[in-house]
Amino acid sequence: MDLRLKRKLGPQLIQAELLRLHNCRLSTSTIWKVLHRNHAKLLQRRRDTKPKRYSRKVPGESVQLDTRKIAPGIYQYTAVEDCTRLRLLGIYPRRTARNSVHFLEERLLHEFPFQSNEFRPIAEESSSALRSKMRYAAIASSFGLIDRAHRT
């Protein structure tokens, strides 16, 4: 109870402290039962800081991209435009460079209502892997995803 009262720790942190300090292994459900039996109050969540929101004044100036594994063999690609908060989702069976380029070229460039003037096609004489990498860099920089100084 001292860990809860003095340091305001939850069951998972109490579990880690008991293991670290006393080499005592208890499940979080057991710790929660002990806290409940001793009438420990619920901890209040800290809401001191506001989340930092990225926003641009011009639509199409910056787009945030993310990929996430949803389930085995299912990956979600997400693009969120910073000015309008317009969101585009794509589902793919694998997280590969080819799928990333497809999401950027076929979905993002065609389905977002604005176009960037900086996007230029890549020369056809380069290898397909290098062409995919260069195409991704060109698309990403045209939407402000990467700094032009870091583009290869």
Mean pLDDT, 10 residues at a time, the chain of 152 residues: 80 89 91 89 75 72 85 90 85 91 85 58 44 58 50 40
> Which are the contacts of 146, defined by CB distance < 8 A and separation ≥ 6?
137, 140
Residue 45 belongs to a domain: no
Give how many domains the chain has, as a whole number. Answer: 2
What's the domain range around 83?
Answer: 63-150
Residue given tokens 């995919």 in the structure block: 132
Supply the pLDDT for residue 138.
61
List Cα–Cα distances, 146 to 82, 94, 150, in angstroms: 14, 23, 7
> Which are the contacts of 89, defined by CB distance < 8 A and separation ≥ 6?
76, 77, 78
> Do residue 94 and residue 133 come from a single domain?
yes
> Do residue 145 and residue 75 come from a single domain?
yes
83 DSSP assignment: T
> Do residue 73 and residue 145 come from a single domain?
yes
Residue 21 belongs to a domain: yes
Residue 78 belongs to a domain: yes
Structure-block tokens of residue 135: 């195409």
> Do residue 144 and residue 80 come from a single domain?
yes
> Do residue 82 and residue 121 come from a single domain?
yes
Supply the pLDDT for residue 135.
60
Q: Which of 135, 148, 61, 125 is nearest to 103 (CA)?
A: 135
Supply the pLDDT for residue 56.
75
> Do residue 74 and residue 11 come from a single domain?
no
Query: pTM for the whole thing?
Result: 0.46
Supply the pLDDT for residue 27.
92
C-beta of residue 83 within 8 angstroms of C-beta of residue 61: yes
C-beta of residue 137 within 8 angstroms of C-beta of residue 151: yes
Mapping DSSP to helix (H, G, I), strand (E, B) and coil, where does residue 88 land?
A: strand
Supply the pLDDT for residue 94.
92
Residue 97 belongs to a domain: yes
Residue 118 belongs to a domain: yes
> Do residue 77 and residue 129 come from a single domain?
yes
Q: For the CA atoms of 39, 29, 15, 1, what is the dihedral angle to 10 degrees?
A: 10
> Do residue 33 and residue 76 come from a single domain?
no
User: Positive or negative, the Cα torsion across 141, 144, 149, 150?
Assistant: negative
Supply the pLDDT for residue 108.
83
> Do residue 22 and residue 79 come from a single domain?
no
